[in-house]
Structure 1
Amino acid sequence: MIKAAFVTQHSNWPWRRQLPSGSTSFAEVQFFANIHDADVVFVYDALPERSLDLRKPVPTVFVVSEPSNVKRYNQKFLAQFDAVITADRETPHAKRILTQAGLPWHVGTMSAGGELLAFPMQFEEFETHSPQKSKLVSVVSSNKTFTAEHRARLEFVTKLKEALGDEIDVFGRGIADFSDKRDVLDAYRYHIALENCAIDDYWTEKLADPFLTSTFPIYHGCPNVADYFPAGAFRTIDIYDPENAVAIIKEVIHSNIAEQNREHLSEARRRVLYEHNVFALLAKVAKDLIATNSVGDKKSIRTLYAENEFLPLPIRLSARARSYVEHRPAVLSILRSFKYKASFAKKRGVHYWKYVTNEFYRSHQQWIANNPSEDLRFRYDLPQGANILDVGGYAGDFVARFRSICDADVTVFEPIPTFAETIRNRFAGDGKVRLYEAGLSDQDETVRFDLDADASGAFGASDGKKVEVSLLDAERVLSERGVSEWHLAKLNIEGGEFALLNRLIDTNRITTIKHLQVQFHLHVPDARRKYKNLAKRLQRTHRLEWRYPFVWESWVRRDDLSK
């Protein structure tokens, strides 16, 4: 029997429940073997320590758990491994295994108090799990709005609730909390499963969990999901075509398709358990690699290093200092006695790693801590009837707040047709809201916007759904608009802010803006350099009021400038 080591920083997760009969084996591969006795070593998501010494020349495999629109892994880090399991077709590795990553199931793991169960649901329990279906349909969303995909999902769920009313139960953080996924699946005939992205071969527990509870999923996400599950076991929707998506949902939930397709649902559950289970996936890869290794592809004895060991030296040293303090309670106590507020002392696991290495995540955590209700974005001393420029109007929430706060005259630019239609309908008959179904930039042009990826927009690369939109030259349009004083301008245009702000500065139009609120985006090529250069240019006319880098920041025109 092949012995496989399974190494991950998520060691507290109940992985073994996905193995049958309480064993450590799957398909003649024994998992959780000692690292020094193993015939193959799998590293899932990240190494738990700075390094891992291998005493035998065995094949090593890294399993990518994050989608490409969330994280790109360091090329030197990946080069240590003999193979990489990934859904990202641009992964820079000679031995790419393109498939789903066997992400762990979530259903049946959490207690009512939100802690991991001491005895979570096991493999055999799922094989026979047949809960009574007494409710119609559920969906899980959240009130997060800091990415384009979050906003699109939230808007879609809002429309869905308006269309279905009490027929649908909406769950999620900040909406209606729940403890375990069983709470939102077991009793329901249908579940609307919305992934965080739409990438080939990338699907998650959002789809696996409904199959494990015999709940028929209505699914937005992985485009080639039919390669993994029988077509009769699910229906797909596109949340960027909300009218059609709502129509499909109504058709499905008002039918008996869940009952009629029980055989397909049972087959989908079998595949989750026996084919797409992480250990089924790794067992197959282990056998293939051992077979390859046996015919002369010999490995060397080596040491594997964590991804942060490939970062620049200053970042590595900073991370080590944080780790040193984090693991020494006495040092922490002393630092806290001096009111030391370093938030790395509160971070654990993946959150700590992101906090150290991900500038946006770090900034966003600070934003949440200091502005849980986001009121800071609306604290401006504006006159009644203030002129406000909203570039990137989305669903019109910013417009609505300032129409209420100061009876503002708002000029709003929104290039995405579905969002523009939402604003048009929301403010129909309101003469103080002027909508342009276009974006602002440094020239007149037509571009293709990516809608599905979190780095949404015309200015960052990804593989999401695209739509053609118009961008207008800001100097021409604002000159024609004839407003001499914008009391507040808000920019959130998914990467287009760099070109737009440079245009406003080049033409001196920036001096007509008193308060400037802007969200910069990291997914734009060379974003950090552009960000620093723009900050220097803005300082000539404005001073910084507050800043959460790449989340939100606010500038105010300097007093020594004429209006």
Structure 2
Amino acid sequence: MTRKIVQLTSNNNLEFFFRQTPKGDGIWGDNQFDLVDGRHHADWLVAYDEPNKICETDLPRERRILFRTEPKSIKYYSADFLNQFGAVVSIDDNPSFDGQTILSQVALPWMYGLDFERPQEAYQWDALAADRAVPHKGELSVVCSTKNMNINQSRRIRFLSMLKEALGDRITLYGRGFRPIADKREAIDGYRYHLVLENNLLKDGWTEKLADPILGGVFPISAGSPNLGDYFNPEGFASIDITKPRQAVAKVLDILDRDLAMKAGAAMKENKQRLMQQNNFFSLCSRVIETIETRQGDGDFQRLERAFSFCPNRVPKWKKLCSVPKPLRPVSRKMYLSLFERQ
């Protein structure tokens, strides 16, 4: 069988990404994903977040795909940068892009079972797929940083403070600013529930924050994407709305007291299977490629004799001038939440 070669490039270290393929070799179906920078003979170029600065390709634009890993509220992507690609996979639209936008979750890499200081010990495919029995540590855990870069990060910090006050020792806080960890397993294994606080509340905007407890076999309580039921069995997780923080605190208490996880075992196993086989980056990317190829037809494409040029994502001056000054942003967000989200 002749496999298509997919050149995978990023400004981030993606070497650990390949543990999300069954043999750790980057093969998924008919596609061979190669993590190569410089010029590489390939059928497709896939950039994850941004290409490496030394990335080159002679592929035409219609054979270049960008996975935009952050929403616009977190990271600005310039039109010049985006328009080097024929298709962009993202959770929100960008009117300045004139190619094909595929609205979807962007399959951020799983962090469960990965310690960056000891990558040789990272869980591989079989270990991730296995069921594990671990000693009980607590009822509910959460991993959250004290970052305050957008409105939802401010929102989740406020909610977490309210929830901690209500639950006390029933919840354990991990993450930068709380209890640092090297591997997400430390904050997931041994707990019955895991609170998922996403950076955004956009449709399709779920991330590894949800994937990690699913891999760990822990019942997720998610504050984030409103359409998780499009991806997973709803009986295997619960959703809360932290724009109504008091109601969300009450719902978490109700979930714990009724112990929804007790009857959710089959659905949680199904969701783990869906995550690994359908909502994995390599599976998603392969489907995107197949969709584009079906639209383009089976004809040969013409290679271009020019290199891919990296374009930095500089925020335009007008956008900087119109934005709230950085020192005032946390105060303005706190004021907004106190005035309009008090339920």
TM-score category of the 2 structures, normalised to the smaller one:
0.7 to 0.9
For residues 312-351 of structure 1, the C-alpha deviation after alignment (integer angstroms, 9 at most, x for no partner) is 9xx9xxxxxxxxxxxxxxxxxxxxxxxxxxxxxxxxxxxx
1:108 is aligned, of 92, 110, 113, to 113
Within 2, Cα distance between the matches of 1:252 and 1:173?
A: 26
Aligned CA distance change for structure 1 residues 250 and 24 (closer, same or farther; 3 Å) = same
Residue 67 of structure 1: how far off its partner (Å): 1.2
Give the SS at the match of 1:250. Answer: helix
Residue 40 in structure 1 maps to residue 44 in structure 2: yes
Residue 98 in structure 1 maps to residue 103 in structure 2: yes
Cα contact 1:41–1:58 (8 A) shared by 2: no
Q: Which residue of 1 aligns with 2:74?
A: 70
Within 2, Cα distance between the matches of 1:299 and 1:64?
A: 26
Give the SS at the match of 1:20. Answer: coil
Cα contact 1:46–1:307 (8 A) shared by 2: no
Gaps of 5+ in 1: 316-357, 368-376, 378-390, 395-413, 421-448, 452-466, 468-563
Cα contact 1:58–1:299 (8 A) shared by 2: no
Residue 129 of structure 1: how far off its partner (Å): 3.4
RMSD: 3.1
2:21 is aligned, of 16, 19, 22, to 19
| TM-score relative to the length of structure 2 | 0.86
For residues 41-62 of structure 1, the C-alpha deviation after alignment (integer angstroms, 9 at most, x for no partner) is 1111111115523268971111
Residue 77 of structure 1: how far off its partner (Å): 1.7
Residue type at the aligned position of 1:80: Q
Q: Which residue of 1 aligns with 2:128?
A: 126
Aligned CA distance change for structure 1 residues 264 and 299 (closer, same or farther; 3 Å) = farther
Give the SS at the match of 2:226. Answer: coil
Q: Which residue of 2 aligns with 1:10?
A: 12
Residue type at the aligned position of 2:24: G
Moved over 4 A (4+): 55-58, 309-312
Q: Which fold has the larger relative contact order, with Cα–Cα distance below 8 Å and residues 6 or more apart in sequence? A: 2
Within 2, Cα distance between the matches of 1:103 and 1:124?
A: 20
Residue 85 in structure 1 maps to residue 92 in structure 2: no
Paired residues for 1:220-369 under 5 Å: 220-296=223-299, 298-301=301-304, 302-308=306-312
Cα contact 2:221–2:240 (8 A) shared by 1: yes
Cα contact 2:115–2:121 (8 A) shared by 1: no
Cα contact 2:91–2:105 (8 A) shared by 1: yes
Within 2, Cα distance between the matches of 1:208 and 1:118?
A: 21
Cα contact 1:83–1:93 (8 A) shared by 2: no
Give the SS at the match of 2:258. Answer: coil
Q: Which residue of 2 aligns with 1:489?
A: none
Residue 210 in structure 1 maps to residue 216 in structure 2: no
Cα contact 2:9–2:47 (8 A) shared by 1: yes
Within 2, Cα distance between the matches of 1:60 and 1:392?
A: 40
Cα contact 1:193–1:218 (8 A) shared by 2: yes
For residues 246-267 of structure 1, the C-alpha deviation after alignment (integer angstroms, 9 at most, x for no partner) is 1111111123321311111111
Residue type at the aligned position of 1:39: D
Residue type at the aligned position of 1:29: N
Gaps of 5+ in 2: none
The structure carrying a bigger strand percent of its residues is 1
Paired residues for 1:332-481 under 5 Å: 394=334, 414=335, 416=337, 419=338
Aligned CA distance change for structure 1 residues 32 and 242 (closer, same or farther; 3 Å) = same
Residue 270 of structure 1: how far off its partner (Å): 0.9
Cα contact 1:63–1:85 (8 A) shared by 2: yes
Provide the identity percentage: 30
For residues 274-327 of structure 1, the C-alpha deviation after alignment (integer angstroms, 9 at most, x for no partner) is 111100111112223334444448344143222218889xx9xxxxxxxxxxxx
Aligned CA distance change for structure 1 residues 39 and 179 (closer, same or farther; 3 Å) = same
The structure with the larger Rg is 1
Residue 152 of structure 1: how far off its partner (Å): 2.1
Within 2, Cα distance between the matches of 1:190 and 1:162?
A: 18
Give the SS at the match of 1:118. Answer: helix
Cα contact 1:3–1:33 (8 A) shared by 2: no
